[in-house]
Amino acid sequence: MTIHGSCLCGEVRFEFERAAGPFEICHCNRCRKTSGSHGMPTIGVLATEYRMTSGKKSVSTFAAPILYAAPAYHSSFCSKCGSPVPPANPDSDKLEIPAGLLDEDPGVAPDKHIFTEFIPPWDRIADTLPQFNIRELFREREGIELPDDFELRSHYDI
Of 3 and 24, the one with the shorter C-beta distance to Zn ion is: 24
* Helices vs strands, H then E, count in the chain: 2, 10
Q: Least distance in Å: CB of 31 to Zn ion?
A: 3
Which positions from 59 through 88 interact with Zn ion, judged by CB under 5 A? 78, 80-81
Member of 3, 5, 7, 41 binding Zn ion (CB under 5 A) = 7
Of 5 and 50, the one with the shorter C-beta distance to Zn ion is: 5
* Strand 112-114 to 131-132 pairing: parallel
Dihedral sign (CA 100, 106, 109, 114): negative
Member of 3, 19, 26, 95 binding Zn ion (CB under 5 A) = 26
CA distance 57 to 71: 23
Q: Is 101 in the site for Zn ion (CB under 5 A)?
A: no
Angle at 46 (CA atoms; ends 138, 103), nearest 5 degrees = 105
Q: Least distance in Å: CB of 82 to Zn ion?
A: 7
